[in-house]
Chain A
Amino acid sequence: MSDITARVINVVAEQLSVDATEIRPESSFQDDLGADSLDLVELIMAMEEEFDIKIDDDAAQKIKTVQNAVSFINSLSK
């Protein structure tokens, strides 16, 4: 597991109050991890904090899984 994946999983675990061991790269925030629309807003904010990045609304709309988030963050560092 990449360092970025592990960090995203930690943020998700903390924000959504779920056990990190239950979170997989393909986990959907809403379908698998019980997030509602407000949770998603806060989750995106927490990722911005963790990685010191800006995720605009269009990008945020497309981040639905852990892997989506990891891919987006990777795309910024290239």
Chain B
Amino acid sequence: MTRSNPPRRVAVTGASLLTPVGNSLTSAWAALVAGQSGVGPITKFDPTGHKTAIAGELKDFNPENYLNKKATKRFDLFIQYSVVAAKMALSDSGLNPDAELTEKMGCIMGCGLGGLSTIETNHEVLLKRGPDRISPFFIPMMIGNMGPGQVAIELGLKGPNFLVTTACSAATHAIGWAFQLIRDQGYPAMLTGGAEAVITPLAIAGFNALNALSTRNHDPAGASRPFDKDRDGFVISEGAGLMVLEEWEHAVTRGAEIYAEVAGFGASCDAYHMTAPPENGQGAVLAMRAALDDAAATDLSLADIGYINAHGTSTGLNDLIETRAIKAVFGRQAEKLAISSTKSMTGHLLGAAGGVEGVITALTLKKGLIPPTINLDTPDPECDLDYVPKVARRANLTAAMSNSFGFGGTNGCLIFKAHSC
């Protein structure tokens, strides 16, 4: 690894949120600190026959201000979310890439499943009407890297461009590698984060077959209840969360507003099971420790972490094992940490979750306000840390962590540092 000396620093200078609790940074943040749930009955298709009939859908998503009619038709929903969120984040950053910058600025995104609804539609055409009726847009609408690909086409970004498909840790890994490309290889800026749009019959059926989804259909707003004794699975949701990362001097020179500094990134694998974490949470522990080691270059230590935006999916296993892993990493400091799962409100955006939660973590540092874990009525006795139940909390934070863990045992952890520090 070629590190500069002293190491380059990386700033978050722009952000966007497209989530079930709001389609803009402002509206989503307001809902999150007010403890509002974005979960409701599935309207994208008729869920009759499925065990789960609830999801976190975007409300009133209207791409018209960002995409022309033809592009809207030719983009799978996850691509629409990618491009709209990218334009919103770039606009928020105030960065206006000139010809020199666009040759270096890249887009690295995470997505778990890509254009699944496009696959479902075209497979039905194949079976009913034969191979000659498959659209020439099927493949370009479906492949996952067309998310960052279309972002680059729309914005003219000619730097590194790829998609990370590490399930529910995808966007965290994307941000981590975008961060390292800037810090370690000298790229000036990156658009990064994640997008996902798979509230489809096949995805719901597939996750239901794994018994992974909440079936609390009578109480959508109470269905995602991380760390609660009565949690019964995650709530699938959709949307995007992107950020503009910028080399520190580049950001300061142009007078950019800085949300936070990206201080460290760690990744690991459980090497254990397809979908379940090991009892001791070793993979999660390794990812958090790797991120802390990585952040040591910015003179940040374990004692500086005051908040963790948990992966906190509301599944029986995740919340228990993540709690154990946090205790293993932080020791006695674990009891002093504020931890929250914003998935209690947004639901689980799968491959986009780390993008949304990375943005939320940066905002938490900037605003000194921690969004709560809602629906935490009866804490699981084995989940006995401070999860900031129900009500947002003011806190003067130095640094914060965002965890993401995915099927395949893949883990990612990002550390953000408050700008004033």
- The residues of A with any CB-CB pair to B shorter than 8 Å are 16-17, 34, 38, 41-42, 45, 49
Contact = CB atoms under 8 A, between A and B. Distances in A.
Interface of B: 68-70, 73, 132-133, 135-137, 140
A38 B137 contact: yes
Contact of A45 (B68, B69, B133): B133
A16 B70 CA distance: 7
A34 B70 CA distance: 10
Contacts of B135: 42, 45
Contacts of B73: 17
A49 B129 CA distance: 11
Q: Is the interface of B mostly helix, strand, loop or mixed?
A: helix
Q: Across chains A and B, which 6 residue pairs bring their CB atoms closest together, nearest first? A: A17-B70, A41-B136, A17-B69, A38-B136, A42-B136, A42-B135
B137 A17 contact: no
A45 B73 CA distance: 16
A8 B69 CA distance: 20
Contacts of A34: 70
Given A17-B68, A17-B73, A42-B136, 9 more contacts: A17-B69, A17-B70, A34-B70, A38-B137, A38-B140, A41-B136, A42-B135, A45-B135, A49-B133
Contacts of B132: 45
Contacts of A42: 135-137
Nearest to A16: B70
17 contacts: A16-B70, A17-B68, A17-B69, A17-B70, A17-B73, A34-B70, A38-B136, A38-B137, A38-B140, A41-B136, A42-B135, A42-B136, A42-B137, A45-B132, A45-B133, A45-B135, A49-B133
A32 to B, nearest CB: 15
Contacts of A38: 136-137, 140
A49 B137 CA distance: 17
Contacts of B133: 45, 49
A17 B133 CA distance: 20
B12 to A, nearest CB: 36
A41 B136 CA distance: 7
A41 B137 CA distance: 9
B139 to A, nearest CB: 10
Most buried by A among B136, B137, B140: B136
A34 B132 CA distance: 24
Nearest to B71: A17
Contacts of B69: 17
Nearest to B139: A38
Interface centre among A16, A38, A49 (most CB of B within 10 A): A38
B325 to A, nearest CB: 47
A17 to B, nearest CB: 4
A49 B68 CA distance: 26
Contacts of B136: 38, 41-42
- Central interface residue in A16, A17, A49, by most chain B CB within 10 Å: A17
A33 B69 CA distance: 14
A17 B68 CA distance: 9
A38 B136 CA distance: 6
Nearest to B134: A45
A24 to B, nearest CB: 19
A30 B136 CA distance: 16
Nearest to B73: A17
Contacts of B68: 17
A38 B73 CA distance: 13
A41 B138 CA distance: 12
A16 B73 CA distance: 10
Contacts of A17: 68-70, 73
B181 to A, nearest CB: 31
Contacts of A41: 136
Indicate the member of A34, A45, A49 with the most B CB atoms within 10 Å: A45
B128 to A, nearest CB: 13
A42 B135 CA distance: 6
